[in-house]
């Protein structure tokens, strides 16, 4: 196809995208396919190069450990990894391994693709345990492969060959800069009952300068790690007795309460009624909704049979912890006969849900088993979809702007495991496109990334160091209203099926707080800071004045403390800076006599002779306007 467009494009082609999937340039195309051509200038080129870098790592490992067994080695968002069996390495071996990898790059080995029959592939891979299993899955049509597959591809470079679908760059010399990142233990195919493997992570870029920039960003990300900052600021903990479930400490809860109050106000603007529904339900509820089949297939749902002397008869049944809130909100809707005059009918809830995430995938507050969503569901007529979705997107845009986050909306379309009729999906996706067009901000399309019950719009927020996080979402659902037989009586006195809109403005409080901790590096704006003002008396003689000031600030709704320890004033000032307190009030005999304060902020700016009432008035404005930095001393 590329050569038909032009010989220059043909020779530049590295890979392609076929209906959104990155594939080798040799992949056959078909009528009606959506095709993109990947050249070295395309965004996807880095992914192709990193895939080749994973093969360079595997080749280097085999040179050092000839008896090693190869598992899988894909590219990732930050680089690549490869899983091995039969190697004994640690990060102290990285210099030697990187040197061997660099020599393979310097050799500029051609990377050549070869198609072979299944039988020949079996002969080549005889005794190679993990590759044999991958091959048999391909031959059987498992794991997404075509069930009529007759050939597979191998990629070779010098003395190295690997069963692989590609794509890859033309030679190892095209890898501009390569490095190793870390080592982790994993299990074959993520199954804890399978063999334990060693995973080696690496990264690759087009140039050494890009690699250096990556390491600088990596160091900055480590400095902002929410787990470290959370410990230092005493915000939260995740103890061993509650794996994947967050304990919010008083200061962390202060932040969470601010977020809850903020979202409640936004829900009021959008016309939502707040409800509460229980975490424990019989699984029949989720069998009807489809969640049981979807989540239990991968063992992602906590559920159990409950049969005992306490649960006789009908209660001796299977129970579960809710993985989502939507089915419970459906129950609230269907309790009464609904008229079109009542729609949209909107419910919101700070609903706690549970997912049985793998222990190796848990990551602080970013990946948990127990989480609370700022969830909401609107039941609407078809004619109300665009207006409802558009207004919700506008509010999400406003919300993320208040946190200093730029948002990119992404339309996620029908996945392979979707429920419901394809025609309904097409209608749903068309409605979401119309809402995004009405917003006028542009959007990206993520093919096949929607939920199993409907397409969705994800709001991806870019933080202070350029990382993207998915936070808010809006999802259109034609499936669950049909499965639950939801109806409303229309203007024609006939029954109609409503459309269900799922939405979250922040996502989950746990994940969003983690993003906020890292975005602000613990230096929260005044309205979110767990401690907003710290009063520092110069000596014991002014301790009473300091406490009176603290009481005045608390009565005005601010979180204020008095630092009256034995440390010197300079040490107490330094401690307040280190603990990211937005403002300090320093008071001595002169301030008490004049009824003033000296104000110092965490940027180490200071001014004297400030009327406490003037300072309080500024704090109210700074808090109410959600300003991102303490700015009293900007005036």
Write out the binding residues for Zn(2+).
326, 377, 502
Q: Token match 């230092």: residue?
A: 232
| Residue pair 69/128 in contact by the 8 Å Cβ criterion | yes
Give yes or no: 377 in active site.
Answer: yes
Give yes or no: 228 in active site.
Answer: no
Q: Which has the closest alpha carbon to 482: 463, 467, 496?
A: 496
First-to-final CA distance of the chain: 63
Strands of 25-117 (E only): list them. 35-38, 69-70, 80-85, 112-117
Nearest-angstrom CA–CA distance, 618 and 635: 10
- Which two structure tokens, joined as six digits, stand for 436? 């995004």
Give yes or no: 456 in active site.
Answer: yes
Give yes or no: 374 in active site.
Answer: no
Annotated binding site: 326, 377, 502
10 Å CB burial of residue 534 (0-12, 13-18, 19+) is buried
Nearest-angstrom CA–CA distance, 386 and 36: 30
Nearest-angstrom CA–CA distance, 26 and 112: 11
Among residues 47, 59, 157, 373, the one annotated as catalytic is 373
Among residues 377, 503, 534, 602, the one annotated as catalytic is 377
CA 460-463-467 angle, to 5 degrees, is 70
Q: Which has the closest alpha carbon to 475: 339, 341, 325, 366?
A: 325
The β-bridge relationship of strands 560-562 and 533-537 is parallel
Nearest-angstrom CA–CA distance, 212 and 214: 5
- Buried b / exposed e across 543-556, counting CB within 10 Å, b at 16+? eebbeebbeebeee
Nearest-angstrom CA–CA distance, 49 and 175: 6
Around 293, how many Cα atoms within 13 Å sit in the side-chain half-sphere?
9
Nearest-angstrom CA–CA distance, 47 and 41: 12
Among residues 55, 131, 322, 355, the one annotated as catalytic is 355
Give yes or no: 414 in active site.
Answer: no
Give yes or no: 67 in active site.
Answer: no
Show the DSSP H helices in 521-558 as ranges: 543-555
Give yes or no: 519 in active site.
Answer: no
Q: Which has the closest alpha carbon to 229: 78, 361, 374, 365?
A: 365
Residues acting as catalytic residues: 326, 355, 373, 375, 377, 456, 502
């Amino acid at each position: 196809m590329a050569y038909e467009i032009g010989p220059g494009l043909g020779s530049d082609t590295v890979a392609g995208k076929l209906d959104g999937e990155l594939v080798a340039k040799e992949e056959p195309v078909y009528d009606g396919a959506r095709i993109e051509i990947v050249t070295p200038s395309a965004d996807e080129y880095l992914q192709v190069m990193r895939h080749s870098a994973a093969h360079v790592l595997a080749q280097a490992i085999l040179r050092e450990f000839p008896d090693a067994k190869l598992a899988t080695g894909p590219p990732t968002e930050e680089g690549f990894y490869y899983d091995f069996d039969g190697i004994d390495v640690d990060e102290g071996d990285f210099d030697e391994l990187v040197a061997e990898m660099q020599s393979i790059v310097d050799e500029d080995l051609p990377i050549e693709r070869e198609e072979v029959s299944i039988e020949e592939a079996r002969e080549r891979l005889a005794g190679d345990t993990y590759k044999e299993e991958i091959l048999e899955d391909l031959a059987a049509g498992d794991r997404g492969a075509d069930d009529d597959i007759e050939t597979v591809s191998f990629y070779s470079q010098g003395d190295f060959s690997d069963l692989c679908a590609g794509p890859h760059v033309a030679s190892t010399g095209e890898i501009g800069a390569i490095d190793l990142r870390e080592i982790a233990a994993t299990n074959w195919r993520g199954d804890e009952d399978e063999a334990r493997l060693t995973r080696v992570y690496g990264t690759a870029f087009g140039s050494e300068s890009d690699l250096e920039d990556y390491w600088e960003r990596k160091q900055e990300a480590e400095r902002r790690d929410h787990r470290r900052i959370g410990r230092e600021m005493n915000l939260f903990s995740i103890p061993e007795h509650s794996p994947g479930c967050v304990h919010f400490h008083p200061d962390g809860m202060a932040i969470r309460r601010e977020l809850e109050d903020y979202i409640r106000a936004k829900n009021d603007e959008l016309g939502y009624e707040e409800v509460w529904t229980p975490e424990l339900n019989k699984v029949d509820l989720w069998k009807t909704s489809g969640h049981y089949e979807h989540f239990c297939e991968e063992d992602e749902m906590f559920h159990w049979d409950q049969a005992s002397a306490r649960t006789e008869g009908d209660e001796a049944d299977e129970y579960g912890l809710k993985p989502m809130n939507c089915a419970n909100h459906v129950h609230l809707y269907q309790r009464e006969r609904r008229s079109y005059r009542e729609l949209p009918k909107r419910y919101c809830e700070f609903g706690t849900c549970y997912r049985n995430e793998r222990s190796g995938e848990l990551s602080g507050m970013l990946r948990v088993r127990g989480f609370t969503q700022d969830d909401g569901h609107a039941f609407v007529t078809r004619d109300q979809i665009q207006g409802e979705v558009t207004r919700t997107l506008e509010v999400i845009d406003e919300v993320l702007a208040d946190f200093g986050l730029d948002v990119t909306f992404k339309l996620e379309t029908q996945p392979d495991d979707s429920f419901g009729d394809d025609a309904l999906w097409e209608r749903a996706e068309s409605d979401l496109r119309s809402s995004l067009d009405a917003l006028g901000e542009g959007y990206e399309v993520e093919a096949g990334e929607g939920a199993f019950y409907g397409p969705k719009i994800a709001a991806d927020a870019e933080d202070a160091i350029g990382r993207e996080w998915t936070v808010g979402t809006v999802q259109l659902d034609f499936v669950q209203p049909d499965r639950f037989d939801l109806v409303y009586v229309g203007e024609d006195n006939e029954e109609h099926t409503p459309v269900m809109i799922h939405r979250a403005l922040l996502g989950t409080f746990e994940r969003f707080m983690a993003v906020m901790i890292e975005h602000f590096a613990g230096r929260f704006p005044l309205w979110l800071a767990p401690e907003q003002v710290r009063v520092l008396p110069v000596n014991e003689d002014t301790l009473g004045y300091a406490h009176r000031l603290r009481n005045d600030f608390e009565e005005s709704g601010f979180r204020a403390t008095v630092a009256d320890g034995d440390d010197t004033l300079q040490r107490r000032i330094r401690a307040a800076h280190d603990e990211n307190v937005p403002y300090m009030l320093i008071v001595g005999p002169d301030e008490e006599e004049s009824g003033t304060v000296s104000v110092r902020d965490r940027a180490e700016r200071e001014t004297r002779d400030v009327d406490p009432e003037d300072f309080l008035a500024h704090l109210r404005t700074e808090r109410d306007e959600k300003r991102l930095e303490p700015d009293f001393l900007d005036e």
